Chains A and B, each alone.
Chain A
């Protein structure tokens, strides 16, 4: 390889056919004279602009598009040299760091010697060692192209905002499960908004047996094994549901607060009494109607109950998980859009309540296709207020444009799977932790189950990894019309 050009933090290098370099590979450009080296990542492989190649190609096809047949008497064996030059490639690389006396700095301000620099491939283990990626709480993410293993540090997910995105069936849920299982292993509290019931079998192996984290997975299905007793609910949480999930206007909310306080004083906070209170409350008819419709929406959701025995204490599940680590999977698979919002509002409200009162240290929240249940104002809340309280969110989506731009800007880690659509790549490339060229160039060519890891977990050295297989029962598969017929 030969250093050809440097523009900004882009390096161009000439590579010859006997040097196998691919997109995503790391190269070390060493200039011994100054005892410094550049670490650059290949983001594109192009044909070198060799003069005369067009003529070469054109003359091989002059016979109406057919290759002209013939013999070449090449006694000096020059043909391999022609092919060698013709197949030379141009590697477009991004400078990731400068190595100086084993120390890494993100600088690309110096220019290595074009004639004296040596260029060699930097193996992933060497890079991991140089960049000190790994750490005390390792999560084995998978294998890289050169058969080495990529291990990230779970502590780099702690207090961070993460995004897992990629088109359908590329392995997003797989990597989120992998992260979850490992976090649980490190006694972390994990809450999952499971839109398609994919995580409910996280405690079972592929053949249906219990796995190591079986006892740490608590699946809560709203209105089935997840109900809330009205008595146990905090007014603040309930108002959150009414205002944000059921869009109760402010005036009506104030009336509701009065009704609630009246019921509390009489210690008659039940669904029946709440209904009666709304019906008989002395207030404007419009307010009454507004309150009445929200009351019925709550009633119909089946999520609220008067029976303490029937109610599941989310708080208990979270506290249990706090001690031994565990995941609370909120199964939203069969829940309607409105009910989903009620449940999410309740869970988030409860989490904030527990975190504020320091009854819970922190929680990792995994939210699949969050735009389907997360209210507008929560996006900013999640990256600011909630993060400071201790809710560390991982968004999982196959529609990257449903996540707001400021989320990308503030994302600390991105696990990016294949995207071919230019628009999708454009959205993801707004992430602050990586340059647009890397995202667009590498993500487009990622095979299924291969993920481009960006951000703090890899110390800002984008790495492509084949996500390791996980022995977990697959759920949430798409129901197919022809599957049975094909089996017969």
Chain B
């Protein structure tokens, strides 16, 4: 496995933290784990839906998934302290295994954000794609951007190392934004195709609507498991849809999810991939367990946040300061609502 990216993550993590030694920082447990949606950038004038009934296929197939998580663990006078962690999970011979990377702790400031992102990106990805326009990055976007890099690297690694397997991604196969350049998604899909892997991207939330209703609210009838093939989606440029979009209800009574399958695969192969997933993974609420585990394993618990704060204080001598909570200060008990 090419470990250039994790190594650079480590180096940059230590580098940014060393420049922080002895400074004061304020604890912060606010979570910023929600990725933004690209659904609204897709035109949906004429949507047609075909119902496909699925039959689980039990021939042994490795199912793999990956996910990343990021957390702001404190603020400093010049920026913020963030943590990033990635997890890859695979199911083979009915056993789950995992590989977890991190947590990587970074001190991100207005001064170092562009250079930090650049260094991390260049360490693995082709610098020609998406490189060069990081100077307009918002500091608050940095955690997601850094986590995005780690996630893409994990996806490439799975696509390259797995053979004839199924790779489950969290999100969609939509590209064309700053953190998901078209070329990067194309590269992942190309690696997967060369190793006869099929990529299935599950979106937990979607805003795609058909006839005014969310596509995931579409009626499946009594057939389960099944797919609804969404036809006629046209993305607004520069957004590119690399996947064929489906609504998947993979267990009886479970939830429906948007499912993107690499459209380079013929239709039969796409359906067969979902059927192999049904025969080789466990489903809880209609969501594949491998992907659920990847999410669970990378997510930070409150205990871990405390531990990272402890780490920052002990290892780098940061001084914790308690800044007043302005919401609490101004609004008292009414200061905890969402803004």
Q: Contact partner of A63 among B13, B95, B105, CB < 8 A? A: B95
Task: In the A-B complex, list the 4 residue pairs whose CB atoms are closest, starting with the nearest.
Answer: A52-B302, A52-B301, A70-B98, A51-B302
Contact in complex: A68, B96 (CB < 8 Å): yes
Q: Looking at the complex, which of A80-88, A130-138, A171-179, A464-472 is the stretch in contact with chain B? A: A80-88
State whether the Cβ of A435 lies closer than 8 Å to any Cβ in chain B.
no
Which residues of B are in contact with A by a Cβ distance under 8 Å? 6, 9-10, 13-14, 89, 95-105, 289, 293, 296-297, 299, 301-308, 310-311, 314-315
Query: Interface on chain B toward A: helix, strand, loop, or mixed SS?
Result: helix
Nearest-neighbor residue (CB-CB) of B100 within chain A = A72
Q: Contact partner of A81 among B9, B10, B308, CB < 8 A? A: B308
Q: Contact partner of A73 among B102, B304, B311, CB < 8 A? A: B102
State whether the Cβ of A71 lies closer than 8 Å to any Cβ in chain B.
yes
CA distance A81 to B301 in the complex (A): 13
Q: Looking at the complex, which of A54-62, A355-363, A415-423, A436-444 is the stretch in contact with chain B? A: A54-62
Which A47-102 residues sit within 8 Å CB-CB of chain B?
A: 50-53, 55-56, 59, 62-63, 68-76, 78, 81-82, 84-86
Nearest-neighbor residue (CB-CB) of A16 within chain B = B310
Using Cβ atoms and an 8 Å threshold, which residues of chain A touch B89? 70
Contact in complex: B296, A59 (CB < 8 Å): yes
A82-B304, A82-B307, A85-B310 known; A74 vs B99 contact (CB < 8 Å): no
- Output the least CB separation between B294 and chain A (Å): 11
CA distance A466 to B214 in the complex (A): 72
CA distance A59 to B13 in the complex (A): 26
Query: Interface on chain A toward B: helix, strand, loop, or mixed SS?
Result: mixed
A76-B103, A82-B303 known; A68 vs B311 contact (CB < 8 Å): no
Using Cβ atoms and an 8 Å threshold, which residues of chain A touch B105? 76, 78
Q: Contact partner of A52 among B96, B99, B305, CB < 8 A? A: B305
- Output the least CB separation between A72 and chain B (Å): 5
Using Cβ atoms and an 8 Å threshold, which residues of chain B touch A82? 303-304, 307
- Output the least CB separation between B91 and chain A (Å): 9
Contact in complex: B297, A63 (CB < 8 Å): no
Contact in complex: A84, B310 (CB < 8 Å): yes
Contact in complex: A70, B307 (CB < 8 Å): no
Nearest-neighbor residue (CB-CB) of A68 within chain B = B96
Using Cβ atoms and an 8 Å threshold, which residues of chain B touch A50? 302-303, 306
A51-B306, A85-B307 known; A74 vs B96 contact (CB < 8 Å): no
- Output the least CB separation between A326 and chain B (Å): 64
Q: Contact partner of B100 among A62, A71, A85, CB < 8 A? A: A71
- Output the least CB separation between A70 and chain B (Å): 3
Using Cβ atoms and an 8 Å threshold, which residues of chain B touch A81? 307-308, 310-311, 314
